[in-house]
Structure 1
Amino acid sequence: MLFLPSIHGRFPVGITTFVTPVRPAQSIGSVKLRNARHGQPENALYLEEVAFTVYYPTEKPTNLQQGVDWFIRPIKESLNGFASFLGISTWLLWPVVYLFGSLIKIPAYPNAPLLNPMESTTESEKPSSSSQWPLIIFSHGLGGSRTAYSQLCCHLAASGRVVLAVEHRDGTGTACIPQSWKVDGKRTSRTLLYLRENDIRWEDDDTVQQKPFALRVEQLAFRHQELYIAYSTFRHFVQNDPVEIDTIDGPPISIEGWTNVNSEGRPSINCDEDVILAGHSFGGCTMLSILSTPPAQGFGSIPVSKVVILDPWLEPLPSPGPTPFVRPEGPGMPPISTDVDYIQESLKSSLTDKLDSPHPRMLVINSETFTLWKDHFARLQEVVSGWEPHGGRILTLVGSVHTSFSDFPVMPIIRKKSARPLLETISTLSLAFLDDRLEETLVSEVSTTNMEIEVIGLKKDGKPKRKLIGNVGDVIVL
């Protein structure tokens, strides 16, 4: 077996993947599959099941071997999905995927029992919030998956948090296998690979052509539904409420371990307050969209206290903005439409809302490449100023690239020397922010530097090629 780097934290990490049906199934947006196969819906964005992988603290099991598959199974579908995402032939990829990728394991325990927070061995290991594990909801970027950020998710889980990593089935992941849950209990499955522009068509091409990033806008609306369903289902599950939920991959789990209550009668996982949102690239865009719009129809607000945004891609969002949406307090909110156009209008109208109540604290960690993207970085600074008017919440890592936040650079055999230290710095900064000790960490645990840029040549288009001055892993605070 080929393992990703080991995770050093307070707790061993367990991994379990849950699925829940969407009843009735929903078609979102107007984008269609150009060549729908037999048994597939015509709508490209068809929500029939929501899946999420949970990373969580556990005890070292005596009856389980460490090692969770990194590539989504069946391996053939992962091969086809990566070929679609990269735009190359499967014949070029199959030796890599079958002879190398299929052996890669995440250093965690499949379907291990959730550790009871009251059974942590020392007071220093107990969670700080009423003896409950805090909840983090994570959203992946284009070409990502529920396992593509396992290193970061495992670091967060090993610190004493539960991370719910959504598998977005909107055509932005490499491959997934949605199921349709029938009334008689039977299920049928289909394969959804990464969606390219030539895989789709529009009902009204003239209208769509006038909208930039039309597919991404509809995928954002799809992701809204997935996130609210995943959060609501998991919350009801850990509170032992009746809910349709099942696990996939690995041995059966003990439901009781997830529904235990502490001495105060509260669930082991805190889903009712101080929830943390996190996401990379299009996942960061997703979380900004979630925080800037009303909840999806039929759902209450997610009680978010902090947000960790990694190299966010802002272009699918309306400009100027987005800015925090002020959520009304108390029950009885009117139902909110999940129409794609409505979500976009909500993002725009949020600019005029008065921020007369606290909003989530935000940390943005940028790669060098995204910080040197002038127009995009200027917009990012404008966006963050609406969340953090006192500044100091955008950090840039010298020598990092857009993929530095994922598992790809630390793959066995092909990993680069600087990849693991960069990923560990990202984890360190994220945890310091969540633990309210970021300023201390910037002084004592990481190397910081000023932002200085040098020109090192010309690009193919004749524009200057620039880089940040400093050592790889240095942190620039802006």
Structure 2
Amino acid sequence: MTSRPHASTKPPRRAAVKPRKTLRELFLHRLPHYNGPYNVGYMDIEVPVREPRPVSNLKRNGKPVLRLDTILMGVYYPCDLQSHDGAEKPHRVDWMPRPRAATAKGYAKYLHIPALPVTAYLACTSLFTKLPAFRNAKLAAHWPEDTRNDDGPTGQKAREEEEDPTSRPRFPVIIFSHGLGGSRLCYSSICGELASYGFVVVAIEHRDGSGARTYVSLPSNVEAAAIESSTAELHTNNDGQERAGDKKVQRQRKKGLNPYYVMDYILPKDNAQDTSPHNRRGVDHTLRSAQIELRQEEVKEAFYVLEVLNSGRGSDIASLNLRRKGNIGSSSMGLNGVEWEDWKNRMFLDKVTMMGHSFGGVTTVQICRDDSLTWLGQGIILDAWGQATPSGGETLKERITKPIISISSEVFMHWKENFDKVVEFSNEARDSGTLCWMLTVVGSTHLAMTDLAVLYPQWMSILMKSMVDPLRAVSLTTTASLEFLKIILPPEQTKYSMWADEKLLQSAEPPSEPEESLRSDYAPDHKWVAVRLKIPNEFTVRLRVWIRRTWRFLICAGREVADLNGGLHDYGLKDEIWTHMCPTHEAVEEHVNQFR
């Protein structure tokens, strides 16, 4: 059995409190509410790293290309809105990173499109979209309601612990790495969904030139003129064009404002299309390896920040935070209202999960090869850009020794060279004796795991021929991830979980060779490999689907009909997931038994 039939698409119980729709959301694109038992809080943290420095030996025009100056991360976490009764409710979070118009121009530059039409289109669709998450909300201090109401020993234990005023739940941690053109906010559907099930998810915004545009604030005691880089352009915090050594910058510092620099997407030297499968020169491994090196250092810095928060010294982080009122890219709230005492000993900082999409999947592979990270437990790899993944070494220190799950899009699985690289690092993990799953979400394209697919489903369907409902693609991704973590994490981190479970990982044994589980029904023509799928007889198929969905809509009196067609666009797909590789049931039992 190489594929899995449709599972029930009935959503799990939603959080008790839903964000109200804003006036703009009645007309603009919006993100759906999260499905877990918790509401979701969010905070932006940017602090100086412990040792600011250039990273890697990569230089252009005699200057270093990459620098590590600060670490910027968005923290999604379970929150308690009930504690805000009678007080002002926390504000919701903008989906487009601030400054929004300037960030939109960064996306236009990344896409090689004139800035004005891109900014105008985003302004009419999603420039003002809000996350269903609340800024600086109180960290949840309760167990899920369904757990407390359970009549069994688990529910009884949860009620006893909650009645103890000194006992509060602790949450597992996930560190998330974005792909090319990404940011800390453009995977909010996945990060927020995981947070709603009781995880603290730390989404790093990388400063390695892989994002469309990011703003790096600098501490007031840093001589900005000493920042030497071939890619960073220094500005004052009023978005002027003054150089860092000018007198105006000094006046800004006296006002308590900090200079900053802008890091835009870095094009590979003499090879602008290194991401294309048709690129004859191949991947620019010199640049990509340097970026991975910087990303690894950023992950270490992010974990250090978590250690400080968990030790009860959150106020130290708040005092260093550069995302505060008046600084570039900041909310006027900064970290105001966060009760740092609530964060003391509230996270499990052992068996931390590394997770990433595309180039972030490559980052996850490399992080899982680093045996020096004793706090790292496992990795979740989403649609890895296999061509940029360095090969593992012969020694165990250069190989994946952590349990991993690789969840890919169908469009990348039809890219043979990429498929072979995913098989390669999956076998690397399996050969080291650890658990490994390799899955494909049928009918999906590369952006199916991002917010873009949720916000612009019509474009994903028309341009990329995506055949899976975007919300279902997110659901399959998060549910498979939760099932993986339920197996891998120790019981103390999962004992009160109310996680979605559709038995996606409990499939029959996959074929002896991963390639045998692939089907070519929707394989694209060669020129569209890795970009889009192919729908045979597309006009007829789309017309038939439209008639069927319209009829269902009418007989259901306008109710949502996604459940009636399994969450798919109903293009004749019979399976939701292909399983290419998975451990034996005995191996899974052996792993679970080690905690007993």
Whether TM-score is above 0.5 comes out as yes
What is the number of residues matched between the two proteins?
Answer: 422
User: Residue 12 of structure 2 corresponds to which residue in structure 1?
Assistant: none
User: Residue 257 of structure 1 corresponds to which residue in structure 2?
Assistant: 339
Indicate which of 434, 453, 476 corresponds to 2:520: 453
Change (3 A) 1:4 1:472: farther
User: Residue 380 of structure 1 corresponds to which residue in structure 2?
Assistant: 422
8 Å CA contact retained: 2:200, 2:347 = yes
Percent of aligned pairs sharing the same letter: 26
Higher helix share: 2
User: Residue 44 of structure 1 corresponds to which residue in structure 2?
Assistant: 65
Residue type at the aligned position of 2:71: V
Q: Which moved more, 1:284-293 or 1:399-408?
A: 284-293
Q: 1:227-285 CA deviation, whole Å, 9 max, x = no partner?
A: 10111122112212455642542525468734437xxxx701112x1111100010010
How far 1:374 moved relative to its partner? Answer: 1.3
Per the normalisation by structure 2, the TM-score is: 0.63
Structure 1: runs of 5 or more not aligned: 35-40, 202-208, 296-300, 327-349
Alpha-carbon separation, structure 1, partners of 2:426 and 2:478: 20
How far 1:361 moved relative to its partner? Answer: 1.3
- SS of 1:145 mapped into structure 2: coil
8 Å CA contact retained: 2:404, 2:436 = no
Alpha-carbon separation, structure 1, partners of 2:283 and 2:190: 35
Per the normalisation by structure 1, the TM-score is: 0.77
Q: 1:192-231 CA deviation, whole Å, 9 max, x = no partner?
A: 2222236999xxxxxxx99942211111111111110111
User: Residue 345 of structure 2 corresponds to which residue in structure 1?
Assistant: 267
User: Residue 8 of structure 1 corresponds to which residue in structure 2?
Assistant: 35
Alpha-carbon separation, structure 2, partners of 1:12 and 1:323: 45
User: Residue 318 of structure 1 corresponds to which residue in structure 2?
Assistant: 390
8 Å CA contact retained: 1:239, 1:259 = no
User: Residue 160 of structure 1 corresponds to which residue in structure 2?
Assistant: 198
Alpha-carbon separation, structure 2, partners of 1:32 and 1:53: 30
* Matching of residue 29 in structure 1 with residue 56 in structure 2: yes
8 Å CA contact retained: 1:139, 1:166 = yes
Q: 1:91-136 CA deviation, whole Å, 9 max, x = no partner?
A: 2312112232322111111111211257978547969x99311111
Structure 2: runs of 5 or more not aligned: 1-23, 162-166, 222-252, 273-280, 324-329, 462-467, 489-499, 512-516, 536-570, 581-596
Q: Considering only CA atoms, is the larger Rg found in Structure 1 or Structure 2?
A: 2
How far 1:162 moved relative to its partner? Answer: 0.2
User: Residue 191 of structure 1 corresponds to which residue in structure 2?
Assistant: 262
Matches within 5 A, 1:273-284: 273-284=350-361
Residue type at the aligned position of 1:147: L
Change (3 A) 1:461 1:275: closer
8 Å CA contact retained: 1:25, 1:46 = yes
Q: 1:31-83 CA deviation, whole Å, 9 max, x = no partner?
A: 4567xxxxxx9533122111000000001244225631011111222122101
How far 1:25 moved relative to its partner? Answer: 2.3
User: Residue 326 of structure 2 corresponds to which residue in structure 1?
Assistant: none
Matches within 5 A, 1:427-438: 427-436=478-487
User: Residue 134 of structure 1 corresponds to which residue in structure 2?
Assistant: 172
Taking only aligned residues, the RMSD between alpha carbons, in angstroms, comes to 3.8
Higher strand share: 1
Indicate which of 412, 430, 433 corresponds to 1:370: 412
Indicate which of 55, 73, 77 corresponds to 2:76: 55
User: Residue 330 of structure 1 corresponds to which residue in structure 2?
Assistant: none
Alpha-carbon separation, structure 2, partners of 1:213 and 1:282: 12
Alpha-carbon separation, structure 2, partners of 1:404 and 1:429: 15
8 Å CA contact retained: 1:16, 1:54 = yes
Alpha-carbon separation, structure 2, partners of 1:426 and 1:6: 16
Q: Which moved more, 1:368-377 or 1:381-390?
A: 381-390
Alpha-carbon separation, structure 2, partners of 1:286 and 1:379: 14
- SS of 1:7 mapped into structure 2: coil
Q: Which moved more, 1:209-218 or 1:21-30?
A: 209-218
User: Residue 338 of structure 1 corresponds to which residue in structure 2?
Assistant: none
